[in-house]
Structures are given as structure tokens and as C-alpha cells.
A and B are shown apart, each in its own frame.
Chain A
């Protein structure tokens, strides 16, 4: 077994070169390169975490804006509906008022017309009476040869007409 057979001549060179080489490995690779590799890993992890946080923040902001938009939209809708209501109510009242005035005008016109009709029918009745009484005077004068005064004839006609309705 050379490990034991050669130990006396080789141990010092083994120890020396191991310390030299392992020292170099430790200082150059262990202290020099490993921390940089690990820094890089840490940096990447941090960047990923930051990106995720930024994405979350953007998402939250978007949600917030959507909520605000929804709220505004609802308010706008409510306002629009109120406006429509008001317009409807206004239109209804103005229509009612117009109808009322028109109705009143029509009523007065109708009343006037009725009055006129009544007057005309009165006048017509009076004329009929006058014509009837003249005709009655005439008929009486021709048939009976009696001269009847206009007033008597008129009274008689009036009486007859009343009786006939």
C-alpha cells in the first residue's frame, strides 16, 4: 500500500501541494466566483419577485379603475334615468295644461254655438209664430170673414203651438 509505504517521503509534499491548490481553489473559486454566481441568482430572484409585485400592483390598479368606472357608470345611468323621468313628467304636465286650455276654448265655443243655436231657434220660432199668426188671420178672414187683430191671432197661435209642444 503506497499510501503507507511512501508516507515518510511524501507526506510533506502532499500536505504542501494540497494546501497550495486547495487554498487557490478556496480563494479564487470559493471566495471569488461563488459569491458572484450566488449574487446573480439572488438578483434574478429579486427581479422575478419585483416583476411579480409590479404585475400585482398593475392588476390592483386596473381593478380599482374598473371599480371606479363601474361606479361612475352607475351614477351616470342613474342621472340619465332621473333626467328622462323629469322630462317625462314635464311633458306630461305641459300636455295636461295645453289640453285643459284647449278644452276650455272648445267648451266656450260650444257654449257660444249652443247659445247661437238657441237664439236662432227662438228667432225661428218667433218668425214661425208671426207667419202662423198672419196665416191664421188670413185664414180666419177668408173663411169666417172675421177680422181678427194681430195680437189675438198671435195669442191663439201661441196657445196652439204650446199645446202641440
Chain B
């Protein structure tokens, strides 16, 4: 669990803004590293050549991917959300992947800030606020008709409305918690398995210890691959659900 501990860096533990602590922590450091890595990645694709090289092709395929996703889920109006969804998707993706880097080998301990619900919660609230703002801006109070699906019989409305309202209000929680839980569970699983490997090898003379250690190590290799997949999938799910919710606000039904 130590890997999730937040520690102020560079003696910034006492930094305050309007009475709130804003220490530059290892979490903040890895946010900055993710942002810089993302910037470097994007900068490599900014050559704007007519015939793209490999790097430019990679960057363009990511922007094209987000563009297509919004086009498919929201339609033509989805184009204006590309900057937000792209930032969200790439920022989470880089955070997830950087958190999985085996940098502990060289003594640097990566910190996965997406395994903190304070972070994923803020990202979820941001998406949810955009949905609320766009929804009420575009449709006014008519936005409440989102909670009454088309073709609902009149006597059903008093029952359906609260159900739909609650499922709508739960969205930011499910959105934030899903990413937090997936990242945290993956890291805990890897930690547990690696402790099996180490303890098993330490109990070499017991006979069963090395067997457990080797089996756990083989399993761990598979789980590592799975975690890389999960890192991508969770970033995708976050971006996809955000765009689906934006579609509700944009097109209402």
C-alpha cells in the first residue's frame, strides 16, 4: 500500500493557497510528468507533413480515434468536444501507462495518480459538469425530459423519473470510481503477486516456497500484460462514457 502514499516533495509540505494545503507532492509530480510526456508525444507529431512519418502517423491516429469516437457517439456537434475528450483520454492513458513502468528497477518509484479517487473524482466531476452546463445551456429546463424516456406511459412517469434521475446522478461516482478501482486493484494485485514471489524465494528450503514463487512470477507476467491492456481500456472507457454523457446533453434523446 506504500505505493499509493502521497508525500510532499522538495519541502513543499507547508505550501498553502487561501488556507488550503497545495503541497507539490509525488502525485503532482507524476501529473506533470504525464503532461510533459504527452506534450513531447504530441510535439513529435506536429511536423505537419503531407506524407506523415511514423510518429506523426501515431499522433494523427490518436486524434483520429477520438474524433471518430465523438463523431459516432455525438455526431457532427461532437467535433467541438475533441480537445476536451482528447486531453482526458491521453492524460489518463499516459498516467496509467507511466504508473505501470518498471522504474523501480532504477530506484525511481512511479506513482499512479489515477489510483486516487480525489483525482478521478475531479475528472469525473469535470465531465459531469460539462454535461450539465451543455444540457441546461442548450435545452434549458427541457433538459429534464432526459429523465423521461420517449414513449413512457403517463402513469409510469412518477416512477421512471426518480429512477432515471438517480441513475443520472450516480454517473460521476461510477465514472470516477471505475477508473480508481481498476487502477488500484491492478497495482494491488501486482504487489500481492510480487510479495508471493519474494516470500516464496526467501523460503527456499521449505520446498513448496520456490514452486509458489515461480508460478506467481509466471502469473505476474500475464497480469502485467493484462494491466497494460486495462490501462488503455480504462482510459478509453472514461473517454467513451464522457462522450456518451455529452451526447445525452447535446442531443437529448
Residues of A in contact with B (beta carbons under 8 Å apart): 1-3, 6-7, 9-19, 21-22, 24-26, 28-31, 33-38, 40-41, 44, 47
CB proximity of B10 to chain A, nearest CB, Å: 13
Contact of B46 among A3, A13, A37 (CB under 8 A): A37
Interface string of B214-243 (1 = CB under 8 A from A): 000000000000000000000000000000
- B58-66, B147-155, B163-171 - the one binding chain A: B58-66
Interface check B204, CB cutoff 8 A:
no
A27 to chain B, nearest CB (A): 9
Known: A12-B22, A37-B48, A40-B60. 4 other contacts (CB 8 A): A2-B5, A15-B118, A17-B32, A37-B60
* Closest B residue by C-beta to A28: B39
B residues sitting closer than 8 Å to A (CB atoms) are 1-2, 4-6, 8, 15, 17, 20-25, 27-28, 31-32, 34-35, 38-39, 42-43, 45-46, 48, 50, 59-60, 63-64, 67, 82-84, 86-87, 90-91, 113, 115-119, 122-123, 126, 180, 184
How far is the CB of A31 from the nearest CB of chain B, in Å? 5
| Complexed CA–CA distance, A19 and B6 (Å) | 17
* B20 contacts across to A, CB distance below 8 A: 12-13, 16
Residue of A with least CB distance to B125: A15
Q: Report whether A10 and B87 are in contact in the complex, using a CB–CB cutoff of 8 Å.
A: no
Which chain B positions have C-beta within 8 A of A18? 31, 113, 118-119, 122-123
| Pair A40/B6 contact, Cβ less than 8 Å | no
- A6 with B122: in contact, given A13-B25, A28-B39 (CB under 8 Å)? no
Task: Pick the 3 closest A-B CB pairs, nearest first.
Answer: A30-B83, A17-B28, A30-B87
Closest residue on chain A to residue B15 by CB atoms: A13
Cβ distance A25 to chain B, nearest Cβ, rounded Å: 5
Q: Which residues of A contact B43 (CB under 8 A)?
A: 33
Select from chain A the residue with minimum beta-carbon distance to B29.
A17
A38 touches B67 (CB 8 A): yes
Residue of A19, A30, A36 with highest tally of chain B CB at under 10 A: A30
Rounded to whole Å, the gap between the CB of B79 and the closest CB of chain A is 9
Interface centre among B4, B38, B82, B86, by most chain A C-beta atoms within 10 angstroms, is B86
How far, in angstroms, from A29 to B42 measured CA to CA in the complex?
7
Partner of A38, one of B2, B23, B32, B63: B63
